[in-house]
């Protein structure tokens, strides 16, 4: 059995009755092609099943019509709504999306940001930590999505208002009557901002801030932090976890201690991930509207790509909201 060779740009040009160079112009979306000739070329390409060679387009110096997104870890559910928002903002412009995970190729001595730039992406949404010394080429727009501990100078930032989210969670628990409240958290830019706001709000209300947990904002950290909190403060009545994944660990620790949720201990999370709404958890949580963060970050990037002149960097904060479910209630009497 012989394999049929894939169609080439010459095949498309022959079928459409035009030159190879004109086909190239159509494939790179050159505005100097008439509507009739563009339609003929696209029809010929569709009939032949021709797909442009992206690598060749890069070598030719043309735009790739591709946006790169750098994330920390594909397993983090925070990225799901954020990426949905990015995709929704890019779709009307015909821009495709490519992802790079900082952990996927951690064994290699290369930066996922640099890897994307080597592909000549038209812009990058940077939604990962750890790029303090980032060098951004002047011709590559970059927008930060999410709160970060350190932001390279001159870059736009779109993030949820994490400080407001911390206050929302604290106010909810205080409003229910809780006075022994533990904040289980981890490291990272957004967690640090949320932590500071939560501690401040508790102190303002005359409540001793109790903070446990360090390291990644993971289920394991949530479990261990809550376990230690229950051991040292057996009278605690509420736990605010830095994200929904940590809240899962907190819930497990509370149940392993023989306590009920919310009758004995209330638990609130952050991020409004699909986990929170599941019938298994029905978790009260803060919704940072990460889909809106992704949409606004991508929209800002599109504006940067199309801008004739550079402009000053902007910082946009998306207001969060509280979603009350069944894991919080007034404290036991």
On whether the CB atoms of residues 26 and 37 are closer than 8 A, the answer is yes
Q: Say how far residue 289 (Cα) sits from the centre of its chain.
A: 11
Those residues whose C-beta lies under 8 Å from the C-beta of residue 153, and which sit 6 or more positions away, are none
pLDDT surpasses 50 at 2 = no
DSSP 92: G
Task: Let me know if 80 is exposed, middle or buried by CB neighbors in 10 A (0-12, 13-18, 19+).
Answer: middle
pLDDT digit string (tens) for 79-100?
899 999 999 999 988 889 999 8
DSSP 5: P
Average pLDDT, the chain: 87
pLDDT surpasses 70 at 60 = no
Task: Give the pLDDT of residue 75.
Answer: 78
Q: Say how far residue 115 (Cα) sits from the centre of its chain.
A: 19
Task: Give the pLDDT of residue 305.
Answer: 86
| Sequence-ordered strand ranges (E) for the chain | 66-71, 96-101, 123-127, 142-145, 156-160, 181-184, 210-212, 238-241, 266-270, 284-287, 315-318, 321-323
State the maximum Cα–Cα separation within the chain, in Å, rounded to a whole number. 84
Task: Give the pLDDT of residue 104.
Answer: 61
Task: Give the pLDDT of residue 9.
Answer: 80
Q: How far apart are CA 176 and CA 198, in angstroms?
A: 16
% residues pLDDT > 90 (the chain): 54
- For residues 165-191, give the mean pLDDT: 94
Question: At 197, which helix (H) or strand (E)?
Answer: helix 189-204
How many residues in total does the chain contain? 333
pTM of the model: 0.78
Token pair of 6, please?
């894939």
pLDDT surpasses 90 at 134 = no
% residues pLDDT > 70 (the chain): 89
Q: Which of 99, 49, 94 is nearest to 74 (CA)?
A: 99
- For residues 120-126, give the mean pLDDT: 90
| Sequence-ordered strand ranges (E) for 178-245 | 181-184, 210-212, 238-241
On whether the CB atoms of residues 124 and 68 are closer than 8 A, the answer is yes
């Amino acid at each position: 059995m012989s394999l049929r060779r894939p169609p080439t740009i010459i095949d498309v040009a022959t079928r459409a009755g035009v030159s190879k160079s004109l086909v190239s112009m159509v494939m790179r979306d050159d505005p100097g092609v008439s509507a009739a000739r563009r339609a003929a070329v696209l029809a010929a390409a569709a009939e032949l099943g021709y797909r442009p060679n992206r690598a060749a387009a890069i070598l030719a110096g043309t735009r790739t019509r591709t946006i790169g997104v750098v994330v920390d870890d594909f397993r983090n559910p925070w990225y799901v709504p954020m990426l949905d928002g990015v995709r929704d903002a890019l779709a009307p412009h015909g821009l495709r999306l490519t992802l790079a995970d900082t952990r996927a190729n951690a064994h290699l001595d290369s930066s996922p940001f640099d890897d994307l730039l080597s592909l000549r992406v038209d812009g990058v949404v940077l939604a990962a930590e750890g790029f303090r010394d980032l060098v951004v080429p002047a011709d590559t727009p970059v927008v930060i999505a999410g709160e970060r501990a350190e932001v390279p100078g001159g870059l736009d930032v779109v993030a949820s208002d994490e400080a407001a989210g911390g206050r929302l969670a604290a106010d909810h628990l205080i409003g229910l009557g809780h006075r022994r409240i533990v904040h289980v958290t981890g490291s990272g830019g957004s967690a640090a901002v949320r932590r500071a706001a939560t501690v401040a709000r508790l102190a303002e209300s005359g409540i001793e801030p109790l903070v446990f947990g360090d390291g990644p904002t993971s289920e394991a950290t949530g479990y261990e932090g809550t376990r230690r909190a229950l051991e040292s403060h057996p009278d605690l009545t509420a736990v605010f976890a830095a994200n929904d994944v940590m809240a899962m660990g907190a819930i497990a620790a509370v149940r392993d201690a023989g306590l009920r949720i919310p009758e004995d201990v209330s638990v609130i999370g952050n991020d409004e991930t699909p986990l929170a709404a599941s019938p298994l958890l029905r978790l009260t949580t803060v919704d940072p509207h990460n889909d809106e963060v992704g949409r606004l970050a991508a929209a800002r990037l599109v504006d940067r790509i199309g801008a004739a002149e550079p402009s000053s960097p902007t910082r946009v904060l998306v207001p969060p909201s509280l979603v009350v479910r069944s894991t919080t209630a007034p404290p036991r009497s």
